[in-house]
């Protein structure tokens, strides 16, 4: 690419960034601003979500079909509630998650959602002729006469007879239509008192099989599928039981949202400052890429219809911190190339080329963790995973394309190609360089002992005292209520006991302790929660409107969370091991997985020692720790792999120490940046964000240490055991 084309592309990129930020903040004509484009989760916008579990023994395809029918019926029902963009999704095998933004009454929502569907067939004069229980099946087929698709119906024995009589009467001309918009010869199909179809009868149907056509052109496939599902749902109802409920006050959510946004702006500002301070002209190029990166992630979420939750904001900000890693790897390589005597222009080109494999390998492991987290997570955890995943993919693009473009231009400039702008002296030595070499392999057993003491102590303490599992793991209910003044917690406890409810925890919250948080280890159903509100109304004068948040987790939900957490760790480890074995060799893979297990056990041990609550966000935190720790380990392993082919005369112990020292600055910088990003979130954001940040905060520290003090030494031990302690480059994959 010519210099003129590069300059034109750089100018175009700057214009895109400026216009992109302007549209993101203010919008432009028909294009809304990002705040109007992105869907806000219930923890921000307020509303109700309910997870209902189907009480059925169906399995396999029958269960899948039944759940799809139930989903279609519920979608039809909640769309009639007049709420903004309700979301109905199948979660797992037997559960349906219903999110109702703007809803305030959980009790009414559950009643509406959980009632059995009422499907009925009426003549045009309002005479009921049969009900959904007489429909044997409904499906779609090609409409050969009109094109498109048609809906097929099959009735049972009683339904066949009733439908034959109905079609005969409809054709007789004796029916006078009393239903607006329905032809006198039609039979209206009504679900929950709403007409979903009113096909006109063309002939008497006596064989129990009918076809509903869409007229000229037929039904579109989606419309025919939806109609058949609604009809099947009416004939195959399934009982639903509430297993998880949340009512979120919009005020609390939006305040938390505002503070999270402020924390995010501060975090990005800190990154921009750090990059400029430590990397000069390279940091400026990285900051330009970062500004584009933020736009790409936000608009990807908007266009994909991703729901932004408070944990999702945490995932986004964390991905910003991790995105810095790709740039730091590149900048480290460029400085090494300059130190080797190359010109700045050549160093930039070769630095990018040498860094590319490392960036791809390190980011792919985090992508694996994000995908597993998305597949096994629910609700907010999925929001966290998708924003993290989008962020990692965007960082790969911006670092390898945008940063490279601007650094290439600066390296070809007469003024900006001076070595001082790249953190180097004219004699090719770094301006800031740690001359001391650290001997990690020599003292590896010291860290083995420290790590073993921490893990064993934590597991023993947690095992004896018991881990502090949150209600989303054990099952239970959490209610946050605005009492409008500080009340005595003993009086609150007495009110709960009056209705037969034992609180496992009662704490103050909010300004001047005017709010209380009630947690119970037993799962309170709708009736129990209503009893609490009635008793509180009697004792404290508060009403349903004072209830800010309700979270309810049935025992089966908690069991699934624990199961999915174990599955997530195992699947992530297997997937990463396969990837590392493919890209490196088995010793690297085993050492990396050993480091991951060390990180997980250390975090669990620290939670046991300090009795920190283990809850749903803990799963997201653990999996992100897996990805981040592996990211750091891969960067070091990549350098060891490279040096195996170069430093053939060195002992393996010396080679590993040298490789770790080479990447030490990068490890410290990346970890520090991620921690700096977390600090504003931890201080300013809501408890929901803090619950995500805590295991990440601990995990980043532990993961960085393990990649240096645990994974590389274990690799050395494996080489010793297999007789490869002497460095023979030809025996290792390159």
Q: Is 4 exposed, middle or buried (0-12, 13-18, 19+ CB in 10 A)?
A: exposed
pLDDT at 444 over 50: yes
The tokens for 149 are 């698709």
| Tokens 């001082």 found at | 420
Say which residues have a Cβ less than 8 Å from residue 422's Cβ, sequence separation at least 6: 280, 281, 282, 334, 335, 338, 344, 347
pLDDT band of 167, cuts 50, 70, 90 = very high
Please state the rounded mean pLDDT for residues 493-497.
92
3-class SS letters over 426-446: CCCCECCCCCCCCCCCCCHHH
Alpha carbon distance 707, 199 (integer Å) = 68
Asked if the structure places residue 39 within a domain, the reply is no
Higher-scoring residue by pLDDT: 605, 731: 605
Of the three residues 552, 586, 612, the one that is the final residue of a domain is: 552
Span 46-64, average pLDDT = 82
Tell me if 245 sits within 8 A of 524, measured CB to CB. no
How would DSSP label each residue in 680-720?
Answer: HHHHHS-HHHHHHHHHHHHHHHHHHHHIIIIIHHHHHHHHH
Domain limit, last residue, from 499, 524, 552:
552
Q: Determine the straight-line distance between the first and last CA of the chain, rounded to whole angstroms.
A: 30
Residue 428 lies in a domain: no
User: Given this model, what pLDDT does residue 637 score?
Assistant: 92
Q: Which structural domain, as residue segments, surrounds residue 485?
A: 476-552
CATH of the domain at 482: 3.30.70.330
pLDDT tens per residue, range 57-107? 888 888 888 888 788 777 766 765 555 567 788 877 888 888 877 666 666
Same domain, 100 and 75: yes
What does the pLDDT read at residue 687? 67
Residue 137 forms part of a structural domain: yes
Question: pLDDT confidence of 236, banded at 50, 70, 90?
Answer: very low
Q: 472-481: string of b/e by CB count within 10 Å (b at 16+)?
A: bbbbbbbbbb
Q: Indicate whether 207 and 262 sit together in one domain.
A: no
Q: Are residues 272 and 383 in the same domain?
A: yes
For the four alpha carbons of 224, 227, 232 and 235, in that order, the dihedral sign comes to: negative
Residues 360 and 622: their CA atoms lie apart, in Å, by 22
Q: What is the DSSP string of 127-183?
A: -EEEEGGGEEEEEEEE-TTTSSEEEEEEE-HHHHHHHHHHHHHHHTT-PPP-STT--
CATH number, domain at 50? Answer: 3.30.70.3400
Same domain, 672 and 578: yes
Mean pLDDT of 534-538: 92
- Per-residue pLDDT of 630-657, as tens digits, reads 888 888 999 999 999 888 888 899 999 9
Q: Is the pLDDT of residue 715 over 90?
A: yes
Query: Rounded to an integer, what distance in angstroms lies between the CA atom of residue 95 and that of residue 564?
Result: 15
Question: Tell me, what CATH number does 162's domain have?
Answer: 3.30.1360.200
Q: Verify that 52 and 185 share a domain, yes or no.
A: no
Per the model's pLDDT, the better-predicted residue between 174 and 729 turns out to be: 174
Residue keyed to tokens 């302690």: 725
Please say which residue of 89, 113, 137 terminates a domain.
113
- The full 3-state SS of 459-518, as one line of letters, equals HHHHHHHCCCECHHHHCEEEEEEECCCCCCHHHHHHHHHHCCCCCCEEEEECHHHCEEEE
What is d(CA 384, CA 370) in angstroms, rounded to the nearest whole number? 9
Q: How confident is the model at residue 374 (pLDDT cuts 50, 70, 90)?
A: confident
Task: Please answer whether residues 723 and 716 qualify as being in contact, where contact means their C-beta atoms are separated by less than 8 angstroms.
Answer: no
Residue 222 neighbours by CB under 8 Å, 6+ apart: none
Same domain, 78 and 216: no
Query: What is the rounded distance in angstroms from the CA atom of residue 584 to the CA atom of residue 657?
Result: 19
Number of independent structural domains in the chain: 5
Query: For residue range 294-348, what is the model confidence (pLDDT) as tens digits?
Result: 999 989 988 887 777 766 776 777 677 777 888 999 999 999 999 999 999 999 9
Do 381 and 399 have their domain in common?
Answer: yes
The pLDDT of residue 695 is 79
Which pLDDT does position 65 carry in this prediction? 81
The strand pair at 128-131 and 187-191 is best described as: unpaired
Which two three-digit tokens encode residue 590?
A: 């085993």
In three-state secondary structure terms, 724 is coil
Which of 676 and 451 is assigned the larger pLDDT? 451
> Does residue 38 fall inside a structural domain?
no
Q: What was the pLDDT predicted at 588? A: 92
Query: Do 598 and 695 fall within a single domain?
Result: yes
Q: What percentage of residues in the chain have a pLDDT greater than 70? A: 88
- Residues 197-227 pLDDT 10s: 899 998 999 999 999 988 777 888 888 887 8
128 with 86, same domain?
no
d(CA 706, CA 700): 10
pLDDT of residue 640: 93
**Cβ atoms 630, 598 nearer than 8 A:** no
pLDDT of residue 18: 95
pLDDT, position 732: 37
Q: Report the distance separating Cα 598 and Cα 310, nearest Å.
A: 29
Task: Grade residue 378 by pLDDT with cuts at 50, 70 and 90.
Answer: low
pLDDT band at 725 (very low <50, low <70, confident <90, very high): low
The confidence score (pLDDT) of residue 337 equals 92
Q: Give CA–CA dist 646/642, Å, rounded.
A: 7
The C-alpha angle with vertex 64 and arms to 385 and 90, in degrees rounded to 5, equals: 35
User: What rounded mean pLDDT belongs to the chain?
Assistant: 83
Considering the domain boundaries, does residue 431 fall inside one?
no
Residue 433: inside a domain, yes or no? no
Q: How many CA atoms lie within 13 A of 714 on its CB side?
A: 23
Average confidence (pLDDT) over 549-566: 72
pLDDT(730) > 50: no
Three-class HEC string of 175-204: CCCCCCCCCCCEEEEEECCEEEECCECCCC
In a domain, 427, yes or no: no
Residues 628 and 696 in one domain: yes
- The answer to whether residues 604 and 702 touch, using CB atoms and an 8 Å cutoff, is no
What pLDDT does residue 222 have?
81
Q: How far apart (Å, rounded) are the C-alpha atoms in residues 597 and 650? A: 30
- The verdict on 191 and 290 lying in the same domain is no
Domain shared by 156 and 193, yes or no: yes
Instruction: Work out the angle at residue 90's Cα, subtended by the Cα atoms of residues 84 and 91, and round it to the nearest 5 degrees.
Output: 110
Q: Answer yes or no: is 432 within a domain.
A: no
Confidence of residue 371 (pLDDT cuts 50, 70, 90): confident
| Alpha-carbon separation of residue 471 from 342, 494, 554 (angstroms) | 60, 22, 9
CATH of the domain at 644: 1.20.1640.10
Q: Beta-carbon neighbour count of residue 88 at 10 Å?
A: 20
Q: Tell me how far the alpha carbon of residue 704 is from its chain's centroid.
A: 23
């Amino acid at each position: 690419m010519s210099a003129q084309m590069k300059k034109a592309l750089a100018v175009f990129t700057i214009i895109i960034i400026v216009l992109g930020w302007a549209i993101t903040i203010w919008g432009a004509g028909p294009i809304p601003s990002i705040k109007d484009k992105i869907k806000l989760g219930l923890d921000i916008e307020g509303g109700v979500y309910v997870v209902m579990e189907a009480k059925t023994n169906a399995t396999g395809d029958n269960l899948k079909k039944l759940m799809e029918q139930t989903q279609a019926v519920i979608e039809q029902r909640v769309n009639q509630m007049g709420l903004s963009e309700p979301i109905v999704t199948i979660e797992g095998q037997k559960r349906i998650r219903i999110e109702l933004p703007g809803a305030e009454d959980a009790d009414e929502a559950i009643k509406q959602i959980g009632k059995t569907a009422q499907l009925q067939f009426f003549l045009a004069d309002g005479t009921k002729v049969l009900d959904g229980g007489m429909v044997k099946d409904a499906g779609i087929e090609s409409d050969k006469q009109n094109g498109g698709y048609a809906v097929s119906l099959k009735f049972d024995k009683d339904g066949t007879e009733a439908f034959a009589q109905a079609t005969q009467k409809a054709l007789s001309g004796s029916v006078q239509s009393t239903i607006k918009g329905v032809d006198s010869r039609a039979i209206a199909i009504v679900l929950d008192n709403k007409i979903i179809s009113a096909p006109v009868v063309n002939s008497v149907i006596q064989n129990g099989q009918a076809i509903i056509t869409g007229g000229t052109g037929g039904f579109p496939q989606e419309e025919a599928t939806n109609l058949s599902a609604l009809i099947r749902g009416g004939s195959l109802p399934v009982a639903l039981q509430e297993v998880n409920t949340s009512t979120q006050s919009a005020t609390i959510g939006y305040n938390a949202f505002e503070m999270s946004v402020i924390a995010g702006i501060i975090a990005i500002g800190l990154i921009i400052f750090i990059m400029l301070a430590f990397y000069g002209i390279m940091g400026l190029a990285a900051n330009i890429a970062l500004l584009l990166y933020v736009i790409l992630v936000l608009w990807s979420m908007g266009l994909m219809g991703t729901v932004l939750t408070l944990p999702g904001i945490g995932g986004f900000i964390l991905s910003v911190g991790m995105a810095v890693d790709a740039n730091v790897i590149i900048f480290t390589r460029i400085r090494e190339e300059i130190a080797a005597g190359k010109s700045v222009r050549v160093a930039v080109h070769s630095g990018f080329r040498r860094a590319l494999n490392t960036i791809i390998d390190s980011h792919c492991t985090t992508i694996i963790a994000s995908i597993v987290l998305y597949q096994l997570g629910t609700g907010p955890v999925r929001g966290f995973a998708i924003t993290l995943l989008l962020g990692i993919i965007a960082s790969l693009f911006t670092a390898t394309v945008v940063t490279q473009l601007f650094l290439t231009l600066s390296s070809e400039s007469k003024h900006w190609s001076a070595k001082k702008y790249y953190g180097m002296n004219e004699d090719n030595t770094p301006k800031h360089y740690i001359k001391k070499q650290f001997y990690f392999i020599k003292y590896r057993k010291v860290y083995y002992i420290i790590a073993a003491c921490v893990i064993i102590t934590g597991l023993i303490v947690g095992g004896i005292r018991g881990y502090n599992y949150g209600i989303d793991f054990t099952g239970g209910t959490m209610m946050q209520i605005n009492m409008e003044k500080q009340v005595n917690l003993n009086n609150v406890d007495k009110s709960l006991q009056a209705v037969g409810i034992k609180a496992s925890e009662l704490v103050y919250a909010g300004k001047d302790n005017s709010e209380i948080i009630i947690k119970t280890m037993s799962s309170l159903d709708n009736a129990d929660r209503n009893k609490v509100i009635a008793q509180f109304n009697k004792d404290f004068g508060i009403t349903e409107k004072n209830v800010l948040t309700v979270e309810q987790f049935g025992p089966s939900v908690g069991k699934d969370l624990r199961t999915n957490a174990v599955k997530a760790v195992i699947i992530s480890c297997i997937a990463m091991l396969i990837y590392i074995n493919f890209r490196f060799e088995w010793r690297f893979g085993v050492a990396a997985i050993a480091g991951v297990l060390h990180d997980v056990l250390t975090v669990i041990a620290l939670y046991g020692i300090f009795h920190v609550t283990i809850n749903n966000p803990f799963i997201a935190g653990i999996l992100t720790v897996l990805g981040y720790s592996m990211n750091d380990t891969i960067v070091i392993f990549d350098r060891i792999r490279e040096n195996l082919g170069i430093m053939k005369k060195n002992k393996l112990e010396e080679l590993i120490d040298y490789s770790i020292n080479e990447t030490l600055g990068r490890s410290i910088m990346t970890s520090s940046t991620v921690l700096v990003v977390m600090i504003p979130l931890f201080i300013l954001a809501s408890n929901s964000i803090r619950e995500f940040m805590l295991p990440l905060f601990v995990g980043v520290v532990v993961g960085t240490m393990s990649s240096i003090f645990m994974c590389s030494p274990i690799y050395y031990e494996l080489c010793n055991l297999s007789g490869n302690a002497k460095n023979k480059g030809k025996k290792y994959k390159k």
